[in-house]
Structure 1
Amino acid sequence: MADGLPPDLLAALDLVAFERQPDGHFRAAAPLPDWLRGHLPPDAEGCVTPAASSDFLAHFLAIAADTWDGPPGGRLMSGPFTEPGADGVERTLEATAIRAASGAWLLLGLPLMRYTTTQRLLQAARDEALDVERTRRRHAEREILLHTIVHDLSNPLAGLRGSLRLLRADALPEDDRELLEIAHRQADRMRDLIHDVLRAFRREVDAMMPATAAPADAAETLRQTAQLLGPRAQTAGVPLAVDAPEALPAVADARRLERALMNLAENAIRHSPEGGTVRLAAAVDGREVRLTVEDEGPGVPEDAREALFQRFASLGEQRGQIGLGLYTVRLAVESWGGTVGYEDREGGGARFWVRLKRPRERLA
């Protein structure tokens, strides 16, 4: 018994184990707790004589003799009993006689203490269940609000997209037609972002990031991102520089990769000083494709980096709050088996990077 159950486990269960000695004494397997010392004072060698201190135990030990003298596996329980101890304090105890392969054992415990502990655990479980229910209700209320916001944003956006489609039918100069195409793609992107916000809050990441049959061309996606953001960067006085090979296949969804890069590049433009350059680059790095977006702004404070890709991360006074942008970037990249991160740019500024897997046939 002593070899099978650690003393600290018995103590946690409010149990004390005594090994029956040939002379009729009982030696404790561990130091006695205070409540039992008062009831059954031990002798100098740490042994107790229950029959001399308790009338009930004297009767129980006589009955338990058959169990202890029998084959291993025998057990006899007394049930709860209440009596004053040697210190005059009345306690409710429970005794169990066990015949184990290692010898004869007597277990003494406080059933009321175990009952109280059980009640406390049950109450804690009830409180936790109530907390879960309150949290569920709050989430349901937030989802209803979110659906309402999405609905209110979707209606005017649908009208805007319809107007842009009508303009496509007009004979426009080439420069105006290019701006119209950019506006149309940005409207489509806004529609997708609204849906992504809803999906992100509902944690439907798999539905939000479906797998694609063909890999994305990360280099071409990077160039398209720069083209889409060209007018905005020009207005902000922030030149865009692109460094990418002709083609660079990566495991990703091309459309969602473009939106992820748009998020990173828009942040870079927003936080760059006028005249600063935003650099977008793509390159092979071993078995991965590495995409980077750099700016010459203030960078990200050290204490804000741990939560950088969480919802509504705050980046301090210099960069403000970033909403869901980097959060959705992380969800997308991780759904493809990639990683996303941040590091300081040499010479000042921020560098956000995305690592994507290369298609297997390209690794040879």
Structure 2
Amino acid sequence: MNKSITDELFAILDTVVLEHLNDCYFQVVGNVPKWFIQFYPDVTSEENKINLQTKFPFLENFLIDAEDFWHDNIPQPLKSGLWSEIDMSGQECHLEASAVRLENKKILLIELLGVAYEEKQSLIQKARQNSLTHHYLLKETQKKEILLHCILHDVAGQLTGINCCFALLAMENLTAKGRDRLEIGKRQSIKQEMLIQEILKAFSAEVKSLEDFTVDSAQAPDAVRCAREVVEALLPTFSLNKRILQLEPNIDLAQDWKVVGENSRLERVLFNLVENAFRHSPLGSTVTVDVNQDGEFILFTVDDEGPGVPEDISKNLFQKFSQGREKSGKAGLGLYFCRITVERWGGSIGYSTRPKGGSCFWFRLPRAVLQAQAGNQN
């Protein structure tokens, strides 16, 4: 490129090019930007020598670092950082200097930032505001969690007293009807205790889902093994209540089934989905747990032969305290735990209606082996 064009280009970009001579003196190279003349009005040609520290005291320490930088002949530029000066007209100028070495010459570039500075300041301000908002929300969440635990602690204490009263009543000489009513009260008390535990689990799950998990295939959970253990754990409950629970028999055990996650929480996700299917399955029906390869993911499915989920409810199934119309079982927290856990691990979760009737709850998790390989490549 023609030198005159280059000189003019730097001036248009509001950048002055200076060559270091000796001590504190510099000489302008090329055209002089208008803003620079407001600081050094006598500098109109390359013949003038300039002492930058007289007008830009900020550069005093930077030039010491720049001298070492030029001596070491480092290829990347050395930035001074942003600073501001007031010119002869009283206007504030936002500047940044860069030291470079070209053809054994010590070059200093000083740029008037203008719009770029305003954009940087705006981004910094937004970042600070977002940080303050984050800390505020974090404190508010902590306050609510403390309040929630205090309330539940008080309620649990009252339930303990009620249970003691029930235990004492059971020792009394009650009529048959009285004992029936006592049993009803005890069952309701147990349900209330379970509700308290479910609420505590849901809120602690939000914290738990942020804890460490593994992408290393050597330590990652095995999808099929987790599915088998959950099926074996719940099989007696299904059999006792005349329902069938099975693990899909055609799973290829020779495949690698390692997924991103943590073993105990993965089992709990599967446990919640299978237990949910149990509560909505009619007598004699079958619930099937299946695991399939899905590209870079492993797909888990839990199929049941129940009535399915109404369309207006299915949209909010995985929200906190979401329940079906019958509201059978728990407080609508199990599916919420599943969602925040699976999404934390980089997966997705959903629901679909089976063509032959019933529900299919599914979730995908990244394959741990691919995650580990990607980490090694990076």
Q: Give TM-score scaled by structure 1 length.
A: 0.50
RCO higher in structure (CA 8 A, sep ≥6): 2
